Amino acid sequence: MDFLFLGTSSGTPTRTRNVTGLAMRSGRRWILIDCGEGIQYRLMHSPLSPVHLEAVLITHLHGDHVYGLPGLLGSMSMLGRKMPLVLVGPAELEAFLKPIIELTQLRLSFPLLFKQAGPDLDLELLGHKVSAIELSHRIQSFAYGFTEKSPPLHLNIAKLKQIGVPDGPILGQLKRGETVVWNGQALNRADYCLPQCAPLRFAIGGDNDQPQRLAEFCQGADLLVHEATYLHADWQKVGPGPMHSSAQMVAEMAQACGLRQLVLTHFSPRYADSKGQGSWVGDLKSEATQHFSGPVFLAFDGAHFDLDAYGNLQSQPSWLT
């Protein structure tokens, strides 16, 4: 699974960071989590095609997470999209979009399939069962949990090489579960597979001032992407009103529940991108690593991370050109 960050700023954009948007891609298929203003412009510089977008999941209805959605829908319609688009979010998402569609005469060329986030969400996307976990914010906010339904099987190539099986169509047949005869011997996939991986499990959080609400889902999970709007000292100065998290708060929860890896995003514009005068985003990572022993990654606009079949997260070259 690929994670491509389209926007990583909180509240307002900066000269280098757009407001929130995250694409998750498997092959050509992809979904979008949150769609702040300007996300479709970011998409024009990315390897993602709106033709293959299967769903948009909105964590909550604050503008920096949703103002870009009407424009994206309109552009996809002008491009002639016909495939239905799944829209997941709080109950008010449909009420937000429908007047815009009507008042701006946005004649969509494709149907919208609304699904309400909550405990009864029944949805499968990109081979994963999707659940919604309610968070704590000024308005209703959700995280989306993803659990892989059928972990892929991997052939033991070394074992096959030992009996002389060459690269080529035979390997493809075995992967598909077909019985193959090689040198008079019947080969079955079950005899030449590596141990099956545990299903991947990860969560993408919306705005939230109580990271512990994700503790149950994140017990032993592979990955959490969560806001770290402030350093903890700044969080204490700002006070509880904005209802956001500090890097320390997220890291402490991650450590307590045995999370494997953590990606921080949604940074206050007060933090610079590079070290200099004042605080910068690197300080957020430093704070998190003091409280979490696993790998900590900082998202940035153009960041590309790959979560492999074994649940290992690797940073890839930026896609932003």
SS3 state of residue 262: strand
For 191, 196, 258, the CA distances from 217, given in Å and listed in that order, are: 34, 22, 11
Helices (H), the chain: 39-44, 63-66, 69-78, 92-103, 157-162, 169-175, 215-218, 232-238, 247-256, 281-289
Burial 153-192 (b: 16+ CB within 10 A, else e): bebeeeebeeeebeeeebbeebeeeeebeeeeeebebeeb
Q: Which residue has the tokens 């300080």?
A: 283
Structure tokens at 120: 């009864």
Q: Which of these, 137, 133, 144, lies nearest to 32 by C-alpha position?
A: 144
How far is 113 from 87, CA to CA, in rounded Å?
A: 6
How far apart (Å, rounded) are the C-alpha atoms in residues 225 and 318? 18
Spatial contact of 292 and 251, defined as CB atoms under 8 Å apart: yes
Question: Of 64, 207, 209, 301, which residue is the catalytic one?
Answer: 64
Number of other residues whose CB lies within 10 A of the CB of residue 40: 19
Our answer to whether residue 273 is catalytic in this structure is: no
Radius of gyration of the chain (CA): 22
Just list the catalytic residues: 64
